[in-house]
Structure 1
Amino acid sequence: MRLYTLSKRHFVLVFVVFFLCFGLTVFIGIAGPNVIETSVARTDLNNSLKLKPFNLSSPPLSTYNQQLWLTCIVELDQHDVSLKKNVTMIVKVLGVVKDGSTPYVNNQFHNRTRLLSCAQKCSEIIVAHLGYLNYTQYNIFVSFEDLNKLTYTIQNITFTWKTYNPTFSQVEIWFRFVFVVLTFMVTCLFAHSLRKFSMRDWGIEQKWMSILLPLLLLYNDPFFPLSFLVNSWFPGMLDDLFQSLFLCALLLFWLCVYHGIRVQGERKCLTFYLPKFFIVGLLWLASVTLGIWQTVSEVHDPTYQYRVDTGNFQGMKIFFLVVATTYILYLLFLIVRACSELHNMPYVDLRLKFLTALTFVVLVISIVILYLRFGAQVLQDNFVAELSAHYQNSAEFLSFYGLLNFYLYTLAFVYSPSKNALYESQLKDNPAFSMLNDSDDDVIYGSDYEEMPLQNGQAIRAKYKEESDSD
């Protein structure tokens, strides 16, 4: 691997290039447009209007708006009020076609209960969420049943339309296209560099990179422009499926590498791969089930929110946290054990240090991005519709895509064979000079090939000493 031929100066240069590419992406995102475009409809209330439904018309929409949210904030006439009360909300959604008629999107009134939580000011309530747009405009009728029972006087109810900024949608299309092209080029170059080597000579990192790079291509979603050409929920769900598949494959890669790098010989499927697939598979199944559940339910009911409307959500949340905790503990165990057992092996130790350092940097940056994006509420209840509405600028979007893409590009560069790599077929009599030095190779550190120069030197010195004594 190229990893073995890099000096300390080269390693520093690799990290510097990684940070420069990531930083450039972040700066481009900071200069880019806001992700969410808002339009506020402020309504002044009096006692006679409280129980009457609100007829709200959305701004003109296009496919570049991607999704539509309607939220509301209840404003009380008294500040510093602490209040928690369930409010019944009745919603009806109609789509406006080009001729001005309003066919039913959902030919029924949706009755939902929402929690009105006020502390100094009331929290935002999501009234409806449309995952894809079939019409150029929407009319939504909203009425509240229990607001007249509050002990405080309601001053205003502010409704806000939220959509994706069309300018950001164009930026997203172009950057996804750029990352798709770059990933395709990196994948082809990496495969080309390994073409002359038998697969049994590949290291475990190289085998996983040959899987992760095509999955990264799907993560960047070459089918993303379909969401602007087809008025359907399918392209959006396909994007979520690709992202969850790549992220879970990355989690599985870390487990397999830190375990496989110290396992000599054959890695049995039952004992080596099955426990890892089971843990990561549960995470993937939970995320995909939750995403599909939300998408399909919103198609039939735009007011649906599984965090609020589903009694099983708390159980799903506990299940996900338990599995995620199990994964973290298992990964930490593998890392500690690998570092403790292999720290004296020169080449294996280098592989461990590089992967651990780069992965640690990526995880730290990811945590910082999440904290800046959600603040202290990052560990609180969030769900799909809310997560999508919390982007503030293009930097938060580009930072995630840029971070993972440049992380995989860096690994592909370091794990690709060096230019002076020797084929094992040419050096089959001396496996110490094999292309790779890992558990897949015939190289065993401390073997006779490493001890031979020392033994020859000792024999020469002993013979020289005997000749000196005889003289």
Structure 2
Amino acid sequence: MTGVKGPPITSTTEERVRLNASDSANRAFIMRSPAMTTYSQQLWVIAKVSTENTDDETFDKTFHVSVSIEGLTADHKPVTILHSDRAHNRTRHLKCKRQDCEEFIVLHLGFLDYTHYILTIHFYGLESFHQRYTIRDVTFYFKSYNPAFTQIEIWFRFIFLLITFAVTCWFAHSLRAFPVFDWSIEQKWMSILLPLLLFYNDPIFPMTFLVNSWLPGMLDAVLQASFLCALLLFWLCMYHGLRQNERRLLTFYFPKMVIVGMLWFSAITMATWQKINEVQDPTYSYKLDTSHFYGFKVFFFIACGVYLLYLVCLILRAYSELRAMPYFDMRLKFLTLLMLIVLAVSLTITVLRFGVGILEDNFVAELSTNYKNSAEFMSFYGLLNFYLYTMAYVYSPSKGTIFESPITKDNPAFSMINDSDEDVIYGSDEESRRPLNRCRNDDDSD
């Protein structure tokens, strides 16, 4: 089964330190990390405290964590990364129930320069807690990406990148004989989404392992967030555009861009802010160390709520106005079917695998580190690629078709090529009497 599922996403090494009742809770924990390679990508150090408490009470204890970090070169010479005299005291919460306490992140290194790291960790403010409940041991988990998974991820992304490039070139080639004015709204959007899918698959992803910098990782997060927001904008424009006679920039596109732009701004700000602060201090956590995090979180959920409400309204209006027209009814059903499949799979995976994740860096990292194996992650990653490939095939012109306005305007089997979408709805009486459900081969019968 391991061969079918692929290697696990992450690899974890633990180091347990036992404490006696006479030991101080403020002692220094000095540890050496396991061997790291560039394929390990990132390193999280997570701590878990166990007590000898026998009460049934649940408690939340606030304390401080101070960390100093040194990296070991190939010559085993230490290089200071975070000085002990400049180590930041970060606030953490120890949430416990009986003997078990929740895990908490001590530090996170967004990119790895050295094979080994020497960590010196101090806990402050646990003296009274230790005297009352007696800390039995502290377990430190060194968690990073599995190098075997990283190699599969590189090849997986590269294969999808090649396929996307081929599909993009093929789709552009299939439309070369038709003026841009005569493209349907679906085809115009596909000419935008397919190039964005190239960036979603990230052509510079291998640079992450060649350059010791946080920039490639942050750029990957920005590109993926941009593609996902473009897809959200596509759904809004499609459900509104099929029944809209004029699609002006200010009245049609601008309100939708504002709504989706709020989501894009939230994702980009979070990723950029965290990356910049983690470079300066690996112990930084935007959830715990940013006073405005919850306000920012409320803003994000409000933007999501506005988007969903607007999308539902557009879908209901589109079906109420266009369901009696076979051509446009077919387009709506196809668009909705694919969208529901993508959303259903995405939400199902999210509900099954998400929760309060330990490794919360960005959306992709959160996905990958909450999966049981690489096959599940790759299936979700490939979902959007196959979604765009399917739409590119359906919305491409029929092979060997010659452009004729009467045919392309009314033939739904002609891969959505029409002189003007609005002419079919608002056209003349003579045009409205033409059949809307002609077969694909009808145009070759003469």
Task: Flag whether TM exceeds 0.5 (same fold).
Answer: yes
2:58 aligned residue: 82
State how 1:377-396 maps to structure 2 within 5 Å: 377=356, 384=362, 387=366, 389-396=369-376
- Measured against aligned partners, the alpha-carbon deviations of 1:164-219 in whole angstroms (never above 9, x if no partner) come to 00000000001000110111111111111111000001000100001001101100
Query: In the aligned structure 1, how far is the partner of 2:172 from the partner of 2:2?
Result: 31
2:82 aligned residue: 106
- Measured against aligned partners, the alpha-carbon deviations of 1:61-117 in whole angstroms (never above 9, x if no partner) come to 110000000000000113555120101111111111112121111222121110001
Q: Give me the TM-score of the superposition, normalised by structure 1.
A: 0.85
Instruction: Provide closer, same or farther for how the CA distance between residues 144 and 216 of structure 1 changes in structure 2, counting only shifts above 3 A.
Output: same
The count of aligned residue pairs is: 423
Q: Is the 8 A contact 1:131 1:298 kept in 2?
A: yes
Query: In the aligned structure 1, how far is the partner of 2:2 from the partner of 2:175?
Result: 34
Matched, 1:180 2:168: no
Matched, 1:324 2:304: yes
Residue in structure 2 matching 1:417, options 386, 397, 403 = 397
1:464 aligned residue: none
Residue in structure 1 matching 2:383, options 403, 422, 444 = 403
Cα offset for 1:442?
3.6
- Return 5+ residue gaps in structure 2 as ranges: 436-446
2:39 aligned residue: 64
Q: Which secondary structure does the structure 1 equivalent of 2:75 belong to?
A: coil
Instruction: Provide closer, same or farther for how the CA distance between residues 452 and 298 of structure 1 changes in structure 2, counting only shifts above 3 A.
Output: closer
Cα offset for 1:28?
9.7
Instruction: Provide closer, same or farther for how the CA distance between residues 451 and 269 of structure 1 changes in structure 2, counting only shifts above 3 A.
Output: closer
Instruction: Provide closer, same or farther for how the CA distance between residues 447 and 125 of structure 1 changes in structure 2, counting only shifts above 3 A.
Output: same
Query: In the aligned structure 1, how far is the partner of 2:39 from the partner of 2:149?
Result: 9
Q: Which secondary structure does the structure 2 equivalent of 1:402 belong to?
A: helix
Q: Which secondary structure does the structure 2 equivalent of 1:227 belong to?
A: helix
- Measured against aligned partners, the alpha-carbon deviations of 1:266-302 in whole angstroms (never above 9, x if no partner) come to 3111110000011111110111011000000000000
Query: In the aligned structure 2, how far is the partner of 1:231 from the partner of 1:309?
Result: 26
Cα offset for 1:305?
0.5
- Measured against aligned partners, the alpha-carbon deviations of 1:205-263 in whole angstroms (never above 9, x if no partner) come to 10000100110110011110011111110110110010000000000000001000101
Instruction: Provide closer, same or farther for how the CA distance between residues 438 and 400 of structure 1 changes in structure 2, counting only shifts above 3 A.
Output: farther
Query: In the aligned structure 1, how far is the partner of 2:105 from the partner of 2:432?
Result: 71
State how 1:369-384 maps to structure 2 within 5 Å: 369-375=349-355, 377=356, 384=362
The one-letter code matched in structure 2 to 1:87 is F
Matched, 1:44 2:18: yes
Instruction: Provide closer, same or farther for how the CA distance between residues 29 and 273 of structure 1 changes in structure 2, counting only shifts above 3 A.
Output: farther
Residue in structure 1 matching 2:108, options 129, 136, 141 = 129
Matched, 1:200 2:181: yes
- Measured against aligned partners, the alpha-carbon deviations of 1:14-40 in whole angstroms (never above 9, x if no partner) come to xxxxxxxxxxxxx99952100110000
Cα offset for 1:45?
0.8
Q: Is the 8 A contact 1:348 1:437 kept in 2?
A: no
Instruction: Provide closer, same or farther for how the CA distance between residues 256 and 430 of structure 1 changes in structure 2, counting only shifts above 3 A.
Output: closer
- Measured against aligned partners, the alpha-carbon deviations of 1:352-384 in whole angstroms (never above 9, x if no partner) come to 001101110110100111112125x58x99663
1:217 aligned residue: 198
State how 1:269-284 maps to structure 2 within 5 Å: 269-284=249-264
The one-letter code matched in structure 2 to 1:405 is N
Q: Which secondary structure does the structure 1 equivalent of 2:81 belong to?
A: coil
Q: Is the 8 A contact 1:61 1:137 kept in 2?
A: yes
Matched, 1:341 2:321: yes
Cα offset for 1:418?
1.3
Q: Is the 8 A contact 1:205 1:415 kept in 2?
A: yes
- Return 5+ residue gaps in structure 1 as ranges: 1-26, 455-471
1:9 aligned residue: none
Q: Which secondary structure does the structure 2 equivalent of 1:298 belong to?
A: helix
Matched, 1:54 2:34: no
Which segment drifts farther, 79-88 or 398-407?
79-88
Q: Is the 8 A contact 2:204 2:216 kept in 1?
A: yes
Query: In the aligned structure 1, how far is the partner of 2:249 from the partner of 2:3?
Result: 43
The one-letter code matched in structure 2 to 1:278 is V
Q: Give me the TM-score of the superposition, normalised by structure 2.
A: 0.89
Q: Is the 8 A contact 2:181 2:419 kept in 1?
A: no
Which segment drifts farther, 415-424 or 234-243?
415-424
Residue in structure 1 matching 2:209, options 228, 241, 249 = 228
> How many percent of aligned residue pairs carry the same amino acid?
52
Query: In the aligned structure 1, how far is the partner of 2:300 from the partner of 2:323?
Result: 34
Cα offset for 1:403?
0.7
1:4 aligned residue: none
1:148 aligned residue: 127
Query: In the aligned structure 1, how far is the partner of 2:296 from the partner of 2:262?
Result: 11
Cα offset for 1:429?
10
Pair member with larger Rg: 1
2:277 aligned residue: 297
Cα offset for 1:447?
3.4
Query: In the aligned structure 2, how far is the partner of 1:428 from the partner of 1:168?
Result: 53
CA RMSD of aligned residues (A): 2.4
